[in-house]
Amino acid sequence: MAELNKGGGSSGPDTSSLWLVSYADMMTLICCFFILMMAFANYDPPGMSVKMEQVSKAFGKDKYKSSSTKFTQLQEEVAKHPELKDLIKTSIVDNALLITFSGSVLFDKEAHELTEESRFLLDALIDLIKIKDSNYRILVEGHDDNQPITKSNKYPSHWALSSARASSVVTRFEYFGFDPQNLVAIGLGDTNPIAPNEDEKGDPIPENMRLNRRIVIKVLEPMNKGKMQKLGLGVYFTNDNKGE
């Protein structure tokens, strides 16, 4: 005859420790979460973009592409273009694609108007950018060397000349259908040289001056109109893409 428990009922399976199974599952999930966080914690934007794309594809989100990835693809296409590859330099800095026309590629010395040849080169670049996304924000910087400008020039200062050059480039973007509110032209004069204009004796260095006479085109991600900052002389956009 089977023994009866103290309560008078028959003995059954012990369920008092089943909560440990759920607890172990939860701890396993938390452990996996922190392993993923550690894997992403190298703060390497290109590497992060690749990892995010891999995770996205694993969840069936093939359409996901980070801004860095899209700019990398555009950078590669520009670098392969037969007319542009030997005349420009590109880099990705702070989620922006920087495209630099150095020397007198676009403008002759002291000139502010695009020649037919330089317009052809610029139009080729604009076409590549537009194919990717015509809503990109475009910020154009004009730079100059520090050589005195002739008094007969329409723009007698480096500020005015570099601004006129940047405006000429921006005008081509507008001609190709870019929204004027996404375009900004800035003239920096001779304030930001990338190489010394003179040697130690004060003699001009023509090669360096050609490098300093440059146009820098910054391609930025599209931005909501609500994030535009209105200044006294127009609209200028920030580079903050949070919350989009």
Per-residue pLDDT of the chain (244 residues; tens, 9 = 90+): 444 455 555 556 666 677 777 878 888 889 888 888 777 665 555 555 556 656 655 555 545 455 667 889 999 999 899 999 889 999 998 889 999 997 778 988 888 999 999 999 999 999 999 999 999 999 999 999 998 988 888 888 999 999 999 999 999 999 999 999 999 999 999 999 999 999 988 899 998 999 899 999 999 998 765 555 444 444 455 554 444 4
CATH code at position 123:
3.30.1330.60
Q: How far apart are CA 169 and CA 181, in angstroms?
A: 15
The sign of the torsion formed by the CA atoms of 175, 181, 187, 191 equals: negative
- Partnered with residue 229 across adjacent β-strands are 236
Number of domains in the chain: 1
Name which of 137, 124, 132 is nearest 70 in CA terms.
Answer: 132
Residue with tokens 């670098």: 79
In a domain, 75, yes or no: no
Residue 9 confidence (pLDDT): 52
CA-based max dimension of the chain:
121
Query: Which range of residues forms the domain containing residue 105?
Result: 83-232
Scored b (16 or more CB within 10 A) or e, 198-209 reads eeeeeeeeeebb
Is 191 inside any structural domain? yes
Is 147 within a domain? yes
Residue 72 lies in a domain: no
Answer whether residue 67 is part of any domain.
no
The answer as to whether 16 is a domain residue is: no
Residue 41 lies in a domain: no
Residues 131/112, Cβ–Cβ less than 8 Å = no
pLDDT at 189: 94
Whether 33 is in a domain gets the answer: no
Residue 140 to residue 161: CA distance in whole angstroms: 14
Sign, CA dihedral 65-71-76-82, equals positive
pLDDT on residue 69: 79
Cα end-to-end span (Å), the chain: 74
Q: Helices 116-132 and 67-80, interaxial angle, to 10°?
A: 150
User: Model pTM?
Assistant: 0.66
Six token digits for residue 56: 């996205």
- Chain centroid to Cα 69, Å, comes to 10
